[in-house]
Structure 1
């Protein structure tokens, strides 16, 4: 019998779209993230529109991994006891409510978890850390933002090296202690959550990758964007391949548990 596909949950962004003074709410998922799951993870990306915190246990039982995507919106700073520094930047409190709870559930239940950019920041905040709202204004830090008017190929081009934790899986995936990555973020980790371990740093000391301490399965996050044409970059491809391996292991365990439940007497 053909094995059912791995399914990876990608929570949606919530945004108002429209013109001429008429806007309506939309649930959005960037193609590049779904495509990275389909191609790089070899899994089926899925969305659960209008899912809320109470739905998390049931929905997690149906999937083999969770990927938290990047987004134009930022994590609301009230989640780390700060006021909004720049009211012009978009926020997404509905996504915050779901993902901050979803992260804790993934860690507790041993569901493979990959965070990218906003997702990286969400994981830090969910586990008790804080963020710099304007990394470029922090003394000694670089401007990690992309040239927004440039073509996408330039925005997502390698911008700076990151130094990888010795002996880490990131060093293995990169094939060495240092690798070039893109850089498209205005916010970043300030105080690292106690439950996270730094896996990579930019030359200015900004944390670029983390691991969840004591995780039972794949539980990593990156500040850069490996989803961008991941199949063209060996380092990015390795991240998604490892995530896919963990998702397939989860699928096997999930199917075994379902089979046992079907054949249990009474």
Structure 2
């Protein structure tokens, strides 16, 4: 692993505690950090209290950004809707940072990988909208996981996705269709104008996209390739490609630093 190659993963903001006494926590799921370290061969890092106005200086320190999944949803006010289900968790502090972070990554050419919530964040940040309750939309499947089942069952392959022929996803999967897991209640309604769909579920829901015209790796998926990514060749290939892009940025950063010193 290139321990100098660093990938920024944003923190979730959550209240935790017992007996009615809750305190704020900043959290990162182990499976996401582990996929970056073992799959992308890079060092996962967090800037837990990063502000929007710090994005530029912090991006200059890292070689990639991974927007993770989360129990929380993107607040629908960001795509001009009211909250459909008040019982579902939201994370406005994360929204504030990540929506701006997406736009900065695209502008600066920083490798970007979005997973589940991160996939939805990229779409919203670039002007797209979401279905808040995919399972209530006529013609769409229920894409949620069996929440009371053990993790191995929740993250088991759930449905097929079909890739755009010749796309990077078809190359990584070595097929034009494969099975993926499915653990989401929200999904893409209108795809942002700057994104190109790369994969669809059998019901037509967009499951993967690329940032059009990106100077480097800029892809996102609705499923969870981080789950034991090294055990599934397709999932491993996604993280390997992300890691290569991050190492390329790392080399460019080193070259720029050498030039600045001389």
| Count of aligned positions | 262
SS in 1 for 2:17: strand
Where structure 1 has 5 or more consecutive residues not aligned to the other structure, the ranges are none
Deviation at 1:14, TM superposition (A): 0.2
SS in 2 for 1:150: coil
Paired with 1:203 and 1:117, the residues of 2 have a C-alpha distance of 18
Structure-2 residue corresponding to 1:225? 224
Is the CA contact 2:2–2:41 (under 8 Å) kept in the aligned structure 1? no
Residues 135-189 of structure 1, C-alpha deviations (whole Å, 9 max, x = no match): 0000010000000000100000000010000110000000010010000000000
Residues 2-59 of structure 1, C-alpha deviations (whole Å, 9 max, x = no match): 9752100000000000011100000000000000000000000000010010100000
Structure-1 residue corresponding to 2:20? 21
Paired with 2:53 and 2:257, the residues of 1 have a C-alpha distance of 22
Structure-1 residue corresponding to 2:199? 200
Deviation at 1:126, TM superposition (A): 0.1
Paired with 1:262 and 1:136, the residues of 2 have a C-alpha distance of 56
Superposition map of 1:96-107 within 5 A: 96-107=95-106
Structure-1 residue corresponding to 2:181? 182
Structure-2 residue corresponding to 1:144? 143
What TM-score results when the alignment is normalised by the length of structure 1? 0.97
Residues 203-244 of structure 1, C-alpha deviations (whole Å, 9 max, x = no match): 000100000000000000000000000000000000000000
Structure-2 residue corresponding to 1:167? 166
Paired with 2:176 and 2:48, the residues of 1 have a C-alpha distance of 40
Superposition map of 1:84-99 within 5 A: 84-99=83-98
Structure-1 residue corresponding to 2:7? 8
Paired with 1:66 and 1:131, the residues of 2 have a C-alpha distance of 22
Paired with 1:64 and 1:200, the residues of 2 have a C-alpha distance of 26
SS in 1 for 2:7: strand
Paired with 1:3 and 1:13, the residues of 2 have a C-alpha distance of 26
What TM-score results when the alignment is normalised by the length of structure 2? 0.99
Paired with 2:194 and 2:243, the residues of 1 have a C-alpha distance of 23
Q: What is the RMSD computed on CA atoms of the aligned residues?
A: 0.9
Query: Structure 1 runs of 4+ off > 6 angstroms?
Result: none
Are residues 1:128 and 2:119 paired? no
